[in-house]
Amino acid sequence: MLARGSTAVTPTLTTPQGGSPLSQRLKQVQALLDDCLGLAGRASTMGPDTPLLGAVAEFDSMAAASVLAALEERFGIAIEDDDVDGSVFESVGSLVAFVDRKLG
């Protein structure tokens, strides 16, 4: 209960390491891309607007399947065939948004 004249404060969601949940999710997806595609740290320089499909040489159809399997394992999500189309792999940001939607 709030005392008269006081106002409620809504806490900002942050991860224990600091930063917003979205920025932490971006870092998680960058690390996953680095692992799956063998980018040797290059994924850490990729921002949300960085194109993936057709722009990153290592990102082909086999890599897409590998990334989807890794997303399921790392985030504990189930990805159905109907959930995925080319727009998911348009950019790093679209992939992060896809994970956020699946996590609900």
| pLDDT tens sequence across 9-67 | 333 333 444 567 768 999 999 999 999 999 999 999 999 999 999 999 999 999 999 99
Cα–Cα distance measured from residue 71 to residue 16, given in angstroms and rounded to the nearest whole number: 22
Between 21-37 and 61-75, two packed helices, what is the crossing angle to 10 degrees?
130
Question: What Å distances lie between residue 42 and 15, 57, 73, CA to CA?
Answer: 24, 12, 22
On whether the CB atoms of residues 59 and 52 are closer than 8 A, the answer is yes
Cα–Cα distance measured from residue 65 to residue 69, given in angstroms and rounded to the nearest whole number: 6
Its pTM stands at 0.79
Domains defined along the chain, listed by start = 21-103 (1.10.1200.10)
| pLDDT tens sequence across 57-98 | 999 999 999 999 999 999 999 999 999 999 999 999 999 999
Q: How many degrees, rounded to 5, is the angle at CA 28 between CA 27 and CA 32?
A: 115
